[in-house]
Structures are given as C-alpha cells and as structure tokens.
Amino acid sequence: MAACQFVTQIARIRHSRAARAPHSPRGNLMSSSSLTILKMAALVCLPGLALGQGRALGPDPMQVFEGHMNYSATAASLLNCVEGTCAGSGNNCAGLSDSTATLDNLPDLPGLRVVHARLNWFASLPQGDAPDTQVMMTPPGGGASLVDADPALSETFDDALDAPSCQLFEFICGIAPDCGFTFMSMHADVTEALTTHRDGGGRLNGLWRVSDVTIPGASDADPRTLVAAAASIAIGGWSLLVVYEEESLPLRRLYYYQGFELISGGERRLHPRGFLAPANPAVDLTICALEGDSGTQGDSVSVNGVEVSDPCNPARNIFNETVNSGRADGRCEQGVRAVDLDTFRLPDALEPGDVEADVLITLPRGDGLLTAGEQVFTNWLLIAFDHIPPSFESIKPEKSANPPSRSAVQPGDSIDYLIVVENTGGDFATHVVLTDAAPPGTTYVEGTTVVDQLNVADTPNGDTPLANGLELTALPGIERIAPAERHIVRFRVTVNDDTLEGTIITNVATISADGTEPARTDPVVHAVGQVPDGGFPELPDQSVADQGPVPTDGPPLLTVDAHVDGGGPRDVGGLALCPLGQSRGDDGLCFDPEAPDQGVVCTVSPDPVCGPGTQMRDGVCVSLCGAGTVWDVACNGRCGGCRAESAPPCDAGGTDDAGCGCRTVGGRSPLTPLLPLALLALWRRRRRG
C-alpha cells in the first residue's frame, strides 16, 4: 500500500497545482498526466482493498455421503460485462434475471435415486439491499418451480472501503460513491423437487434454467455500485450440485464443505478435515469459486503441495471463469463470467490415513504497473474418494492344550478362545467393535482377555470386556485398522461344575465397524461329557443375544471364516497353528513331540529383525525373558521358551516335567507361549504404520 499512497499523493498535488493556476487553459480540470497517475493509483490500490472476509471454508464438512454413489455439478453466470470507463480498469456488468447451463453426465440407470440436490445463487449488492431469497428453477423438459433459500444454509456479509480508498474513486470518476457492499450466497435443498420431477418421468440430464433472480450488477456511473465495477468485485450466477446413488455404482465417500469468503491478493490456507483417506487415496476435488479473471495470471491452488491444473485450467491461471464439470463430453465451458466450477483428479495429493488437507490458494497482489491483482470468493468445495470398504476375516480356532471345536469337554475344563481380526478390505476400518461373551454353561476366567500383548481390564463385575462389545480401535496404539493389519484377541473360560452332561457349549464372536454390516464367526462348539452319537446339531448363536441373522441382501461387506479341526496349518501373522497334537520344529514342519504341549503356536522362523526370544520395543530389540531367565529354543516342543539361568539346557520337547522350567515366559501365566504370536503381529502392524 506504500506505492498506492505515494502515487495517489503525487496525483493530488499535481491536481491541486492545476486547480490553483487561474490562467491555465485547463482551469479546474485534472491534467491528462494527473489522470493517468490516478489511474495508476487505482490499479495499485484496488487489488489490495481491505474487503471483508466472510466465513472461511470448512474446516469441517457440512455434509458427508457414503455408498454406491457419485455426484455431478454445473454452473452459469448471471452477468453480462463490458470494460469499465472511469478508472481505466474494472468492468460494467448488467445483471441478468435468468440463465441456463447443461448438466448431462448423470448415468441413465432405472434405479438411480437423488440423494441430495443443492441450488446455490449468488450476487453482489449495494449495502443495505436485501438478498433475493426466491428464484425459479426449471429442470430439463419440466415446469418451473419456486425455490426458497434456506436461512440455515445461506450466507451473507457486509463490508466497506476505508475513507481514503473511497475518496480515491471520487477523484478518479468524479462521483462520490457508496463505499459499502453486501455479498450473498443463497442455498436451497432441492432434493424433493428433483425427485418429484424424476418420479414423474422427467429427465435430469439436459438444459437447466434458473430465473426470476435479482442481480444488481455494477456500473461506474451508479454511485451505489461504482466501487464494485471499478474494483471488479461484482458477482452474479448460480450452481447446481446433484448427489445420486445406484447399486451398480462404485462405493464412494463424498465430503461437502461450504464457506463464503472474499480473498484478496496473497496466500490463503484452508484446512478441510473430517475425512479419512483410504489406502489408495486418489481424490476428486470440486471447487466453486467466484470472481475469477481469465485475463489475470498468477493465481493457483495446491493441495498438500501438489499444484492443481488440467487442460481447461492452467496451473498459473486456475480461476479463469471456466466450468469443466457436468458435461458428458468433458467439454470445458469458457467465459462463464465471474464463475469457476471445476473438478480435478488428484492421485498423489493425499496419503493413506490422512484426515486433513492443506489447500493453499495463491492470488497475485499486482504492482499497479506491470501486473494486475485479483480477488476471489470461495463458495463451496467437495472432496470425493473411491471407497473400498474394510473387510474382516475372523478366526476362532482351537487353542493349545484345549479340546478343538466339535470335541468333548468335562466340568472344570478350560477352553481358550482366540479370534484373529484382520482387515482384508481396501480401506481403513474405524470404530471396530468385537463382541464375544462367555457362553452359557461356562464362567469367564478373570484377567484373561488379551489383545495382542495388551491385557485389557475386566468389567467392574469381573466379566470380560468383550461381553458388551470392546472397541478395538479405542485401545492404545490402534486407533484404526489399516488394510492387511491384524490383531489377535483371546480369553479363557471354564466349564461350570453344574453344567449337565450333553450340554452343547456354543461360542460366536461378532465384529462390526463403520461402513460395514456386522458379521459373526462360525460357532465353536463343545459337548459336555461326550460327543453326541449323531454329531453336533446345527445350533443358533447362544452367545450374542438379539443379533438377528447376518444380512443376505446384497454383497456382504464383512466375510467370516472359521478354522475347523482337520485342516492343515493356518497362517497367522507369520506364525502357524499346527494341527492338534503336533508342534512346529526348527525346520518349520509340524511334528508330534509326545508331550503335554500339543497344538502350541510356534514360530515359522526366527524374528527377521530381532531373532528368537526377543521383540521389537520402541525400535530396540529386547529379551522376552525376565530377570534370571534365558531363552532356550528347545523348550515347549522346540517352539522356544524361557528357563532359569541356573537350570540345565532343555532337551528337544522339554517341559517342566523334565526339569526344564520352560512353561513360563518371563514369569507370566501359561497363556504366554502365545506371546511370540502377538509380538510378531504387533511388529508387523508397526512396520505398516
């Protein structure tokens, strides 16, 4: 602004001297050189006008849509402009009461349904004028209908120039202008109108018209709009956004942001948030901005440092009065006065798991001599991701030293349940809840619920936290479950002494997550006493009440697989469950050690980073064994374990009975032979993180 003040002061001095010269043939008229200097001052000052900002776009989405859906949008101007006269810059714009735009890229599908439709119209007004809150909308082949703006969705703001800047226009144009402005952006939900039109046989593709709109425009001959004309901040136009769904469409997530703000030359950072970028986060970004100028270079938009552009929108002239959205032929509509509505495909702007974007808008300030400045109104923005939902394979196999599913147990016996929760889908899973209660006829063993290597506190009444649903993604270090990430959950029950012979103990786990249908594991069943002569009957789930059947309509988003007796080794995070009665040797093969530790979980190979008997903790390899103990690879059927330093080395397959002391790892409970499994799963998850 120093240049503005300097040039303006020179012009005023020269004009004052000319006015005081009584015999000057120019008398009180401003000299041509003074007028030229004042025009230069206008060009310097106008780009830096201290205009109001309105409300910043975002940061949280106003609406979120998810499903088999997509969107389309179009826009049109309501201004007819010619070059201004009084300041040598700016535009005189006549406001139009109606205009049309083509929207013809919606798929022609019988089952298509309009999820949301939003009509938006906008204008600059003399300060104090009331916004036009009613317009007419005509769909392709249909009749006009009245549309009322929704006050809860619409935005307006007032602003005014400071006194010195306002006086400058009087010097230039010879008219004392009104220095205040009102800017409006009206929004209306027209979903019902479009649905009614389509249900009646009407088309959504074709020519759309918005009419009966009051757009004042701007003229440098009108004191009320002179500044808007000379400063090129007149706006007028409309946009239409249609979100639709149909089962054959790909799954997508759409995030709609709104914020009506005037940005003058310089940089403006916006931070839309509230989304979750999927594993392969190619994103569609649609921006509706107002008052761009095709003749002004230097304006740009970047997302996380990735500059936005396409053949219709050069990287250094992004706000260039174009609409590249809504056309089946991909046509770029140019010369859409003071309106930009463009969609960009950005394959590399976001990382998997991102929850916020850094959107940088850069506008030229102008120097009054060689480059012009620019102002832009942000209006609305939409971010869309292709969405491959999370999916889980939940396994409830038999546990070590416990009877497998579909075998007999006796009162007082223990049953160890294990669930492997793995996201086999293509997106991050959030709010993942695992529900698994102790089945009737058993009692939960307090303190035995473990997720990976984390002991999870029981409920106040001593029950497993899984009984009422445990949110895995609320546990420390998980937050969300990435594709290919897995977690191991286990707990123990005992068969009640008073459980009658012939009782069938049935246990089923349920997994739910955002964006998925709940799914249940196949039942793990045990017979008390002996297996029924006719085998196990097909029994309903007895462990999760009021759950209802797993939905069968449409493709399931969660798949469930249970490990049953008789199969070969099942890979679990680089480890394997050998068939019951066998263990895994150093050579990676399952064998029968003829020892009590049958069916134990063994490592396929030493930890690839830390080696046997160690784990990765905060980037450092540390021993699994406690003070006074050492790791012995021959313990527990050659699966490895900790023994006292003073004890002799274990023989292959050695156990406590052999004086080896290998049954306890680091002084923990008998459940801890499974600890290497959890540790390796955790290490893999950290590598992926």
pLDDT (tens digit per residue) in 460-506: 999 999 999 999 999 998 988 888 888 889 899 999 999 999 898 98
* pLDDT at 362 exceeding the cut of 90: yes
Domain definitions of the chain by residue range? 2-37, 38-386, 389-545+554-565, 572-689
Per-residue pLDDT at 172: 82
Instruction: Write down the pLDDT at residue 479.
Output: 87
pLDDT tens string 632-663: 766 654 456 677 777 777 664 444 444 444 43
Binned at pLDDT 50, 70 and 90, residue 389 comes out as confident
Q: What is the pLDDT of residue 382?
A: 98
Residues 6+ apart with CB under 8 A from 32: none
Cα four-point dihedral sign 317, 226, 183, 186? negative
DSSP summary character for residue 275: -
Task: Return the minimum-mean-pLDDT range out of 83-97, 263-277, 552-566.
Answer: 552-566
Q: Would you say how long the chain is, in residues?
A: 689
Banded pLDDT at 128 (limits 50, 70, 90): confident
Per-residue pLDDT tens over the stretch 170-215? 888 888 899 888 999 999 999 999 999 999 999 999 999 999 999 9
- For residue 59, say if its preceding peptide bond is cis, omega within 30 degrees of 0: yes
Is pLDDT above 50 for 428? yes
pLDDT of amino acid 626:
65
Q: What is the pLDDT of residue 164?
A: 84
Average pLDDT estimate for 591-613: 44
pTM of the model: 0.63
- Three-point CA angle 497, 499, 504, nearest 5°: 140
CA distance 524 to 417: 9
| Architecture of the domain delimited by 389-545+554-565 | Sandwich (2.60)
Dihedral sign (CA 337, 343, 344, 350)? positive
Name the band, by pLDDT with cuts 50, 70 and 90, for residue 47. very low
More reliable by pLDDT, 617 or 428: 428
pLDDT digits 0-9 by tens, 145-176: 999 999 999 999 998 888 888 888 888 888 88
Q: Does pLDDT of 566 surpass 70?
A: no
Sign of CA dihedral 31, 33, 37, 40: positive
Per-residue pLDDT for 559 more than 70?
no
pLDDT tier at 574, thresholds 50, 70, 90? very low
Window from 414-428, 438-452, 577-591, 674-688 with minimum mean pLDDT = 674-688
What pLDDT is stored for residue 254 in this prediction? 95
Q: Quote the CA–CA distance of 158 and 155 in Å, as a whole number.
A: 11
- In angstroms, the Cα distances linking 360 to 48, 57, 305, 628 are 19, 12, 8, 59
Question: Is 682's pLDDT higher than 70?
Answer: no
Q: Where are the alpha helices (DSSP H) in 465-518?
A: none
Percent of the chain with pLDDT over 90: 44
d(CA 591, CA 588): 9
Provide the terminal-to-terminal Cα distance of the chain, rounded to the nearest Å. Answer: 49
* Residue 521 and residue 394 in contact, taking contact as beta carbons nearer than 8 Å: yes
Q: Is 254 helix (H, G, I), strand (E, B) or coil?
A: strand
Percent of the chain with pLDDT strictly greater than 70? 69
Q: Using alpha carbons only, give the angle 81, 82, 83 rounded to the nearest 5 degrees.
A: 130
The first and second tokens of residue 412, run together, are: 């007082």
Strands, sheet with 470-471, edge to edge from the N-terminal-most edge strand? 470-471, 433-435, 510-512, 519-520
Whether 311 has a pLDDT exceeding 90, the answer reads yes
Residue type, 326: G
* Whole-Å CA distances, 249 to 86, 91, 107, 200: 55, 45, 9, 23
String of DSSP letters for 31-99: PHHHHHHHHHHHHHHGGG----------SS-SEEEEEEEEEEEEEEE-EEEEE-SSSSSSEEEEEPS-E
pLDDT: which is higher, 564 or 187: 187
Residues with Cβ within 8 Å of 222's Cβ and at least 6 positions away in sequence, in order, are 229
Q: How much is the pLDDT for 554?
A: 29
Q: What pLDDT, on the 0 to 100 scale, is given for residue 86? A: 78
pLDDT, average across residues 75-96: 87
Span 1-19, average pLDDT: 40
If you average pLDDT over residues 588-602, what whole number do you get?
A: 42
C-alpha of 625 from chain center: 43
Contacts of 262 (CB under 8 A, 6+ apart): 51, 52, 53, 54, 159, 183, 233, 375, 376, 377
Q: Which residues of 616-631 are buried (b: 16+ CB within 10 A; e: fewer)?
A: beeeeeeebbeeebeb
Question: Between the ranges 116-120, 405-409, 542-546, where is the mean pLDDT highest?
Answer: 116-120
**pLDDT grade for 558, boundaries at 50, 70 and 90:** very low
| pLDDT, mean over the chain | 76
pLDDT band at 578 (very low <50, low <70, confident <90, very high): very low
Q: Please tell me the distance from the alpha carbon of residue 313 to that of residue 323, in angstroms, as a whole number.
A: 9
Reported confidence tier of residue 665, pLDDT bands at 50, 70, 90:
very low
